[in-house]
Amino acid sequence: MLARQYLRENSEIVKEAIKNRNMGEGEVVVKLLQIDEKWRVMKAQCDDLRHERNKVSTLIGNLKSKGENEAAEKAIAQSSGLKVELEKLEENAKALEEELKKGLLELPNVPHESVPTGMDESDNVEIRRVGFENLREFPEDIVPHYDLGVRLDIIDEMRGAKTTGSGFYFLKGEGARLEHALISLMLDIHREQGYIELIPPIPVSSASMTGTGQFPKFVNDAYKIEGEDLWLCPTAEVPVTNMYSEEILLDEDLPIKHQAYTPNFRREAGEHGTETRGIVRVHQFNKVELVNFTRPDSSYEQLELLVNDAEEVLKKLQLPYRVISLCTGDLTFSSAKTYDIEIWTPIGNNEEKNDGRWLEVSSASNFEDFQARRAGLRYRPKRHESADYIHTLNASGLALPRVMVAILEYYQNADGTVEIPQVLRPYMGGLERIEGSDPIGESAVGAGLRN
């Protein structure tokens, strides 16, 4: 959330930020400033009335002490009138303050000056590519992960849709084992990088969702638990960021680095008609999340370190990827600056083979004090100084389904098996390749042998 003082003093910057985010011309800023001005005038009137009432109260005491009862009664009547007037004015001021707070919650963060200006993802800026100097030799015909998953009987979308609905799936056998191995690898890597592990609650409150910026903008994308003020966790960023809400941390505590593995639930599954097959866009997925709490003066240095921390997983897996800086029009609502890490697979979009495509597996963002103001996250620079808002950052380390997709397509062999990356083999009991298993049930009868 932007501070009121910042909005008053930098209204043109905020309007420009809204325009660059393709969220209008900033008319909402003018409206909020008008509400703020009314609130300040009304607040001053309330202060004047309180001061006047205090004077009258003092007068009443003096008059009574002098025995001037008639004059005291008139003063008492005046005080009662001032009280009624003050209560009405305070009620109106409170309503204006609530309207202002609601409006501020709907304002996006202001992009950092280093963020490229642009309309959409086509204006994002590539920072670097890694891992393309020694690409594997690929089979002539690479099978998409969704078809390969069926052939190897390791991904079962059909039964996932039957038990729950579209966008849900089963991982089976070596597929499930591969994802467990990835989770363990990520947790080990990030532990060595200094991250403290958490197992957070999965349901989160509306206040927590508001604290990180999911609400009110993305309320329709969340899964509600009926009859409760609880929502299924869309990302571990929500519970982990809010765990220190309304607390004051000490300077010596910072930076704090947490990692948390959770399942995540989101109604929104991407653009209509995009990656509708397979496990690229789904409603439930697993992820290891990295959350940093840091001092304001070092948060951008910490952002670069955070990107490096997430990249390390892909380097260990020897998967090719790139890092891009998101433009203003592609930034998330709460972010001041974001780097996306996109993994490359040799299968192109629209099932065009061997031309490759990019899959986002992590967004590393600096929210500055935007989330901290919403959630009440502060630190005390020195014991004798007043508390200030900390800066929060987070990144996926990484989103597991898309890493699974990349492994199944990038490490695919000509015989339909999948080479297991060297770094994962110790986590899979020394298994060197995924060979799959025979399908189960009458639906498999007559399907023939796997290649």
Catalytic annotation present for 360: yes
Contact status, residue 14 vs residue 26, Cβ threshold 8 Å: yes
Beta bridge pairs of residue 284 = 265
Q: What token pair was written down for 150? A: 């069926």
Q: Is the omega angle on the peptide bond into residue 200 within 30 degrees of 0, that is, cis?
A: no
What's the rounded Cα separation, in Å, for the pair 447 and 451? 11
Q: What token pair was written down for 439? A: 């399908």
Q: Which residue among the candidates 208, 363, 365, 396 is catalytic per the annotation?
A: 363
Distances, alpha carbon 364 to alpha carbons 92, 252, 288, 349, 406, in Å:
42, 24, 13, 25, 20
Catalytic annotation present for 363: yes
Report phi then psi at 447, rounded to 5. Answer: -75, -15
Q: Which residue among the candidates 85, 360, 419, 435 is catalytic per the annotation?
A: 360
3-state SS of 249-278 is: EEHHHCCEEEEEEEEEECCCCCCCCCCCCC
Catalytic annotation present for 177: no
Contact status, residue 106 vs residue 309, Cβ threshold 8 Å: no
Q: Which residue among the candidates 21, 177, 281, 373 is catalytic per the annotation?
A: 281
* 18: Cα separation from own chain's centroid: 19
- Give 332-386 as a DSSP string: -TT-SEEEEEEEEESSPGGG-TTS-EEEEEEEEEE-TTHHHHHHTEEEESSTTSP
Q: Beta strands 391-399 and 284-294: pairing type?
A: antiparallel
Catalytic annotation present for 281: yes
Q: Which residue among the candidates 21, 177, 266, 357 is catalytic per the annotation?
A: 266
Question: C-alpha angle with apex 128: 123 to 131, nearest 5 degrees?
Answer: 130
Catalytic annotation present for 380: no
* Residues near 107 by beta carbon (within 8 Å), at least 6 away in sequence: 1, 2, 7, 14, 18, 28, 29, 32
Q: Catalytic residues, which ones? A: 266, 281, 360, 363, 402
